[in-house]
Amino acid sequence: MPVTSLLKLSQIDFVTTDPALMRAAVKLPRQLRPRPDGMRLHLVVKMNNGSEEAQDFALREVSDAADLLALRNELSSGSALFAYRIDPDDLARLKAFRATMLAKKNTGVKGSLTISVRPETCRTETLGEGPVLFSTYLRTSETGSYVPLTRDVDLRSLDATRDIAALIPPCA
């Protein structure tokens, strides 16, 4: 996570933020496209008692031009941006997850929250040599703007044991 994002992200209050207003975005090389039903918001709460709770929530692409305009400064040559909201069918599940975490907090169990965006992609053409960079972003009512969660992460070096970019299937 970029250091410059830490301050903005620390403003998010998971207890009070409105999940319906949350937006996520991903910047991908033009050769990659998000797979239908392949975008997820991943939440992990690590508790001080050593336990961990994690859930994925489906994201749906938004068509509001304002969401993409808010990201225009992130666009670079050879890349494409995609913006998302939490799937309406998953909003109740996210609120239930939050209520469960709040109940645990009220019993004295504290935790730390990690938020990530997990894009599943396909490729429209063969990827060339060199880095395959992607970035992810989050916007909440507290941040007011998209905040980078990751910036220019190379899929070829993300996992030291394998080239993840080589595993991306062609788009159907």
| Dist CA 27 CA 83 (whole Å) | 9
Q: How many helices (H) and strands (E) does the chain have?
A: 3, 7
Count of residues making up the chain: 172
Query: pTM here?
Result: 0.88
Mean pLDDT (the chain, rounded): 88
H or E element at residue 67: helix 65-69
Instruction: Count other Cβ atoms within 10 Å, centred on residue 82.
Output: 20
52-74 pLDDT per residue, tens: 989 999 999 998 888 888 888 89
Q: What percent of the chain has pLDDT over 90?
A: 50
27 forms beta bridges with 81, 135
107-146 pLDDT per residue, tens: 877 888 888 998 899 999 999 889 999 999 999 988 888 9
| Dist CA 16 CA 29 (whole Å) | 35
Q: What percent of the chain has pLDDT over 70?
A: 94
